[in-house]
Amino acid sequence: MEKGSDMESILKASIRDIPDFPKPGIIFKDITPILSNSAVFSRVIDEFAARYSKKTFDTIIGIESRGFLFGASLAYKLGKPFVPVRKKGKLPYKTVEATYDLEYGSATIEMHVDAIDKGHKVIVIDDLLATGGTAAATCALVENQGGHVVECAFVVELAFLNGRNKLKSDVHALATYN
């Protein structure tokens, strides 16, 4: 997204800062006001749809949990399959998993083993790109199954955390905080 664009301005006006959440010193970017405003939410999906209707890909992958909201809506609009990537132990069928480091410890995400076919091209979507660990692990899941990540899409990018440096694919964010 071009800096200073209308969409970026709308999103930044909609996102609220929550100081000291989830711990002291962190300013949490709360996107729930975007979800509760149907005009803004629709505009976000339309913006992504305009971009991705021009790209060749097979599947949209949404990262738990807010990535489900944007990913499933976009998949519906574009007539594409949607695949959820979830925290370990939340999917009912056979899964593949990827573990990634957090600030303190690690986490594991999973995807159904039959979610994508070898050679599938996918768009990975989530609400926010911060340090990039979850998105990088999701991309690893796709690649380990023989898929290819066309692009990772985010509503918001916290560029000062350098998360895009962990991603091998192109990155697109509708709003960026430097």
Q: How far is CA 18 from the centre of its chain?
A: 21
Specify whether the CB–CB gap between 66 and 31 falls below 8 A: yes
What pTM value is reported for the model?
A: 0.94
| 101-112 residue pLDDT tens | 877 789 999 999
Domains in the chain (CATH in brackets) are 6-177 (3.40.50.2020)
- Residues forming beta bridges with residue 96, ordered by sequence position: 111
Backbone Cα Rg of the chain: 16
Mean residue pLDDT across the chain? 95
pLDDT band at 155 (very low <50, low <70, confident <90, very high): very high
Alpha helical stretches, state H, the chain: 6-14, 32-35, 38-52, 66-78, 133-144
| 29-51 residue pLDDT tens | 999 999 999 999 999 999 999 99
The Cα 142–Cα 116 span in angstroms is 8
Active site residue ranges: 66, 103
